[in-house]
Structure 1
Amino acid sequence: MRIGLLTEGGYPYATGEARLWCDRLVRGLPQHEFELYALSRSAEQEERGRVPLPSHVTRVRTAPLWAPADDGRSHRRRERRRFAAAFTELVRGICGADPARFADGLYGLAALAWEEGGLYAALRSETAVRAVESACRAPEASRAVQRAQVADLLEFVDELERMLRPLSLDWYEDLREVDVCHAAAGGVAALPGLLAKRFFGVPLLVTEYGVQLRAHYLETSARDERPAVRALLAAFHTRLAGEIYSQADLLTPGNAHARRWQERCGASRERLRTIYPGMEADRFAAVGEDPGCGDPHTLVWVGRVDPAKDLIALLHAFAEVRRAEPRARLRIFATSVGTGSGAAGSATAGPGGPAGAGNHEVGHAVGHGYLADCRSLAAQLFPDEAADAHAVGENPVTFEEIGGPDVPSPAHAYGSGRVVVLSSVIEGFPITLAEAMFCGRATVSTDVGAVVEVIGGTGLVVPPRNPRALAEACVTLLQDPERAQRLGSAARARALELFTVEQNVAAFQESYLRLLARGPARPDGTGVPFEQPPEARVPGHWATPTWATPHPVPAAPPAADPAGPPTRGDDPEAHPGLMVPAARAERAASPEASA
């Protein structure tokens, strides 16, 4: 089987989201071929290089989202009219209540970019700005959109051009030959797979461990944007998510929280299958198999220092814990300083491009400021004991980093205490909570995101933004070490059953086979799964064995709408909406291409 893996801002780059689980997935399925199609978010990410790839990764195609996709082409009068019609449909679908217009406009722009190019210049033209202005002034547009000014229109068109850059990629000749397109995230990352499904009938699988639409809402709410621009961008992401969810053959959310978001955006339950993230249990085996290790009076917090983690509430809660348990200590292990965007637990990052880079720097300033506020609050709550914020063993609250000689790994951080605390107000899939479960630790968590689903009754859950409830739960486990140990043992057993790399890889392997087993590989019925043997893709002239020769299949009757977009196996001449250029048609018909 040949799988086209689509990523954005992650694998195969050495940094970014979805890097680890994609690498584990690829390495866990060596019997299949993988082709990687990656969108990068910054020049810095590309400069840091890529991770080593296994031999069964046969092709790697990359494209920058941060760089303009200007091919130097400009449209003639006929192409300009065609662009204006498609773009008008797109923006009317964004501003109005008809998602079908958005889809028609999106596929119309994709067909134009495929045949003629020049989409970069067209999206930055006066025609595009006027089309957005007309859509914003339409009666069906929302009040926030109708108030858009010229500066708002220009900013939105600029953002829209960046998000539609995948439409101009030259990946689709390669994607039409894969057996399954697997998008490692929703949103822009899934656009190439969406078009491969639309035009060539390639099955599309979309995985979301952090819902892109939710992450966008959280991110834009923390940014100082114009209300009209925020409303327009939110409408675009909502329409794009709805189209992806309605067209994907299979959606694999990482938890029930993400699944609910997808269902509310139009995803069908029949095409949803929850696949939990996979983690390397061996990293935590030494701590997990030794339940007696760690200080029984120590609470542990591990994560990214970010306002969404609500360390302020945790410090206030720990002040009450100290009054009930004077020997209690709180060790805060920072894996990194967050951006302050509020998109905690999501598998996404800030926008790419120059504007996004500036926001990223401001976000880091916010994160470091939040860490300073937490240190200051700890000094105020424990004035007689917080003279040295780094001296472990002398102060009730310590701020430490993972990676030093004392705490070289997260397993050592979790193993330093008996109870792990999560105080977030926003979470997607709580990775640190699952890691604590692998370590056999009892947990006290706030009821946000997928927390309840992850722990499944093996820990205590309290409402968010409630320091008193958080303190009472912590005291309960500190004063009852036997109960804490029982909960920790149950948590480790649950983690080993649900959250290992092995279960994750096996679930995706089954999903790939399920997509191919549903029926003909092409929507027109002219092919069957595995009809083309792997030998046919070896460079050179090779004779196809007689047993691999497919039986002739009667041609399917013509579609009811002859003007619709061509699908895999259709005759391009019958569909003027997506004419393949002559050079591409000749290359597709050559013996070398068929080999």
Structure 2
Amino acid sequence: MRIGLLTEGGYPYVSGEAGLWCDRLVRGLEQHEFDVYALSRSERQEAEGWTPLPPQVSGVRTGSLWDTDDDGVGHGRRARRRFAECYGELAAALCTTAPEDPSGTSAKASGRAPEGEPDTVSEGRSALVADRFANALYGLAELARDKGGLPAALRSETAVRALERACRAPGAHRSAREARVPDLLAVAARLERALRPLSLDWYEDDGLGAVDLCHATSGGTAALPGLLARHFYDVPLLVTEYGVRLRTHYLTEPDAPPAIRALLAAFHGRLAAETYRCAAVITPGNLHARRWQERCGADRAKLRTVYPGMDATPFAETGESPECADPHTLVWVGGVEPTKDLVSLLHAFAEIRKAEPGARLRIVGAPTGLEGAAYLAHCKGLASQLFPDEADGPHAVGRNPVSFEETGGPELPSRAEAYGAAALVVLSSVVEGFPYGLVEAMLCGRATVSTDVGAVVEAIGGTGLVVPPRNPRALAEACVALLRDPERRARLGAAARARALELFTVEQNVAAFHGIYLEMLSRAPARRVILGDNGEPLPFAVPAEAHVPGRWTDSTARVVARGGPGWATDAPVRATSPASPAFPAFPASATEGAR
């Protein structure tokens, strides 16, 4: 099977998002062939180079999202007119109020549609806007393919004037109407960067047109090449989101002018909806991400939760020896930044010290950026105020029961050592996606106390205690309860390790995606021709296939013969139970149970 792996700011670059799990996925599926299509985010990322690539990566093609050099492509009058029409439609789709009416109230909410009945007015307007956006997007893609690129056109005065007309048109929402010229220039520049994949030379017969399926490792811009491969060649698209890109956009740049935020939010929202509509399968990394995707229009029938795979080997020794060095020690491990809410943790620890005077807290982690460094300094100052000079004792760290450390030193050479040195692991975040650090603690067999944010409850199940965020008293009470009950800590730690080994390992992740790949290709076989040494198609190089619409186990499905080339893989197809989340049970033959 030939897979086009689409990444943005990650694999195969050394630094970036999703690099580690992509590398594990590619290495775990050595029976398949991978073509990597990578979008870089900065010059520094490109300068740092790539990770070592396994032999199953047959090629890597890269594109830049940061370089602003002119491509030198000039357009004639017809092409400029065609661009103005398509971009104008795209801008109009971003400025149009949908699915609500211009007053901001849907028909159902305003009483015009009866309760319990579908709001056909809002749904119809939403569908029209979605179609308008999709038609404009693919129109720009076809123009870019015909003319060799659009970067200069997307940064041109024509684009800015199209945005201005759309913002001033009747029916535009209030934030768009308030946009000024600097706002329009900023939006046009951001849209040019987001639409830069339209101008890449990836959409040819020897590029994405030759793969069996596209796997986008995130939503947003990374999925755009997959949408175009589906549009031009009908290549099936798989979208994986361990952090929903639309949610990330909402959380960034909160101080930007309202017009910029509204227009960019509309673009990313429309792009996410189109991606979910076109994807054959969508794999969120947790239920928290799944709810976001459903809210953005993803069809539940397409959603398969696939947890991120983590390498359990570094934590095996600690997990198999659950006894801790100090039964009075709590540890926090992670990147230091305001969303981790170490201030609440320090106030909670002050309450813990009143109940357990021998308790100590080890905060292990490095600051994230300049904001993280300032926050770390603030937390150190707070710790010195809450715990002034205390007499040295068997449980003190220097003259303070709170220590700030980093891994890599003589006392804590690794994260596993940090978890192993504590009786209890604490997470105090107010914002969290999938809690990787918490899963590491579970692999080490440690009991945990966490705040109820993101996918925390989903990750730990019933193997730890969960308290509301920003509640130091509740956090302190939960920690004291476990510090005073070593048997309960041991039971929770053992259950946590068993759960992590069952759900969150690399092997589980790779097996799930292997099954999804097979299922997707069985439903939409790619028409790929294999050529011989003389350049002529090889007859019978790829076996003919039968395509069964709907579920293969559906007794009412009709078999439709599909001659010509399909796909081939060295891996045998194994039947699984109907309850398997990876792919449905296959009958003994492709035509069994069909009429």
1:186 aligns with 2:216: no
2:286 to 255, 274, 277: 255
Taking the aligned partners of 2:321 and 2:399, their CA distance within structure 1 comes to: 26
1:403 aligns with 2:441: no
**Contact 2:39–2:65 under 8 Å retained in 1:** yes
In structure 1, the residue matched to 2:17 is 17
**Contact 1:71–1:117 under 8 Å retained in 2:** no
Task: Describe the shift of the 1:292–1:190 C-alpha distance in structure 2 as closer, same or farther (beyond 3 A).
Answer: same
1:151 to 182, 189, 197: 182
In structure 2, the residue matched to 1:3 is 3
- SS of the equivalent of 1:5 reads strand
1:544 to 538, 555, 559: 538
- SS of the equivalent of 2:322 reads coil
Taking the aligned partners of 1:219 and 1:541, their CA distance within structure 2 comes to: 51
Report how far residue 20 of structure 1 moved.
0.5
Unaligned runs of 5+ in 2: 99-128, 548-563, 565-595
**Contact 1:386–1:397 under 8 Å retained in 2:** no
**Contact 1:297–1:328 under 8 Å retained in 2:** yes
Q: Which amino acid aligns with 1:130?
A: R
Which has the bigger relative contact order, CA under 8 A and spacing at least 6?
1
In structure 1, the residue matched to 2:367 is 337
In structure 2, the residue matched to 1:168 is 199
Taking the aligned partners of 1:542 and 1:114, their CA distance within structure 2 comes to: 27
Report how far residue 520 of structure 1 moved.
4.1
Cα-to-partner distance string for 1:338-394 (whole Å, 9 max, x where unaligned): 2xxxxxxxxxxxxxxxxxxxxxxxxx222211111111100110111499xxx9465
Q: Which amino acid aligns with 1:86?
A: C
Q: How does 1:312-351 map to 2 (within 5 A)?
A: 312-334=343-365, 336-338=366-368
- SS of the equivalent of 1:61 reads strand
Query: Is the deviation greater in 314-323 or in 399-408?
Result: 399-408
Taking the aligned partners of 2:519 and 2:386, their CA distance within structure 1 comes to: 57
In structure 2, the residue matched to 1:220 is 253
**Contact 1:136–1:148 under 8 Å retained in 2:** yes
Task: Describe the shift of the 1:197–1:405 C-alpha distance in structure 2 as closer, same or farther (beyond 3 A).
Answer: same
Report how far residue 538 of structure 1 moved.
7.0
1:211 aligns with 2:244: yes
TM-score (norm 2): 0.83
- SS of the equivalent of 1:305 reads coil
Taking the aligned partners of 1:538 and 1:393, their CA distance within structure 2 comes to: 73
- SS of the equivalent of 2:335 reads strand
**Contact 1:205–1:248 under 8 Å retained in 2:** yes
Report how far residue 405 of structure 1 moved.
2.2
Q: Which amino acid aligns with 2:95?
A: C
**Contact 2:352–2:479 under 8 Å retained in 1:** yes
In structure 1, the residue matched to 2:340 is 309
**Contact 2:215–2:239 under 8 Å retained in 1:** yes
Taking the aligned partners of 1:496 and 1:552, their CA distance within structure 2 comes to: 38
Taking the aligned partners of 2:263 and 2:293, their CA distance within structure 1 comes to: 20
Unaligned runs of 5+ in 1: 339-363, 522-526, 554-568, 570-595
Q: Which amino acid aligns with 1:444?
A: V
Taking the aligned partners of 2:391 and 2:211, their CA distance within structure 1 comes to: 60
In structure 2, the residue matched to 1:557 is none
Taking the aligned partners of 2:533 and 2:340, their CA distance within structure 1 comes to: 53
Query: Is the deviation greater in 140-149 or in 424-433?
Result: 140-149
Cα-to-partner distance string for 1:184-238 (whole Å, 9 max, x where unaligned): 00000111011101121001000000000111111122xx311211111111111
In structure 2, the residue matched to 1:459 is 464
**Contact 2:29–2:510 under 8 Å retained in 1:** yes
Taking the aligned partners of 1:325 and 1:538, their CA distance within structure 2 comes to: 76
Taking the aligned partners of 1:490 and 1:43, their CA distance within structure 2 comes to: 45
Taking the aligned partners of 1:259 and 1:408, their CA distance within structure 2 comes to: 36
Taking the aligned partners of 2:356 and 2:422, their CA distance within structure 1 comes to: 15
In structure 2, the residue matched to 1:358 is none
- SS of the equivalent of 2:478 reads helix
Cα-to-partner distance string for 1:453-500 (whole Å, 9 max, x where unaligned): 000010000001111101111111001111011000000000000000
Task: Describe the shift of the 1:109–1:301 C-alpha distance in structure 2 as closer, same or farther (beyond 3 A).
Answer: same
Q: Which amino acid aligns with 2:463?
A: T
Taking the aligned partners of 2:443 and 2:213, their CA distance within structure 1 comes to: 33
- SS of the equivalent of 2:331 reads strand
Report how far residue 519 of structure 1 moved.
4.0
Report how far residue 452 of structure 1 moved.
0.4
2:493 to 485, 488, 491: 488
1:59 aligns with 2:59: yes
Taking the aligned partners of 2:264 and 2:139, their CA distance within structure 1 comes to: 20
Cα-to-partner distance string for 1:556-579 (whole Å, 9 max, x where unaligned): xxxxxxxxxxxxx9xxxxxxxxxx
**Contact 1:216–1:234 under 8 Å retained in 2:** yes
1:266 aligns with 2:297: yes
Cα-to-partner distance string for 1:2-59 (whole Å, 9 max, x where unaligned): 0010001111011111010000000001100001000011111111111110111101
Cα-to-partner distance string for 1:525-584 (whole Å, 9 max, x where unaligned): xx4xxx64xxx367665772546475999xxxxxxxxxxxxxxx9xxxxxxxxxxxxxxx
Report how far residue 141 of structure 1 moved.
2.0
Task: Describe the shift of the 1:48–1:540 C-alpha distance in structure 2 as closer, same or farther (beyond 3 A).
Answer: farther
**Contact 1:207–1:254 under 8 Å retained in 2:** yes
Task: Describe the shift of the 1:279–1:213 C-alpha distance in structure 2 as closer, same or farther (beyond 3 A).
Answer: same
Query: Is the deviation greater in 407-416 or in 505-514?
Result: 407-416
1:201 aligns with 2:234: yes
Report how far residue 139 of structure 1 moved.
2.7
Task: Describe the shift of the 1:30–1:306 C-alpha distance in structure 2 as closer, same or farther (beyond 3 A).
Answer: same
**Contact 1:72–1:118 under 8 Å retained in 2:** no
1:116 aligns with 2:147: yes
In structure 1, the residue matched to 2:560 is none
Q: Which amino acid aligns with 1:498?
A: L
- SS of the equivalent of 2:73 reads coil
In structure 1, the residue matched to 2:552 is none
Q: How does 1:121-132 map to 2 (within 5 A)?
A: 121-132=152-163
**Contact 2:531–2:538 under 8 Å retained in 1:** no
Taking the aligned partners of 1:546 and 1:369, their CA distance within structure 2 comes to: 65
2:262 to 224, 231, 245: 231
The runs of 4+ residues in structure 1 deviating greater than 3 Å are: 391-394, 537-543, 545-553
Aligned residues between the structures: 512
TM-score (norm 1): 0.83
Report how far residue 70 of structure 1 moved.
3.0
Q: Which amino acid aligns with 1:227?
A: P
Task: Describe the shift of the 1:547–1:315 C-alpha distance in structure 2 as closer, same or farther (beyond 3 A).
Answer: closer
1:85 aligns with 2:85: yes
2:317 to 269, 286, 293: 286
- SS of the equivalent of 1:508 reads helix
**Contact 2:212–2:525 under 8 Å retained in 1:** no
In structure 2, the residue matched to 1:447 is 452
Taking the aligned partners of 1:130 and 1:83, their CA distance within structure 2 comes to: 12
Q: Which amino acid aligns with 2:22?
A: C
Taking the aligned partners of 1:503 and 1:20, their CA distance within structure 2 comes to: 15
In structure 2, the residue matched to 1:74 is 74
Taking the aligned partners of 1:297 and 1:322, their CA distance within structure 2 comes to: 10
Task: Describe the shift of the 1:543–1:150 C-alpha distance in structure 2 as closer, same or farther (beyond 3 A).
Answer: closer
**Contact 1:69–1:165 under 8 Å retained in 2:** no
Q: How does 1:477-556 map to 2 (within 5 A)?
A: 477-521=482-526, 527=527, 532=529, 536=530, 541=535, 544=538, 546=540, 548=542
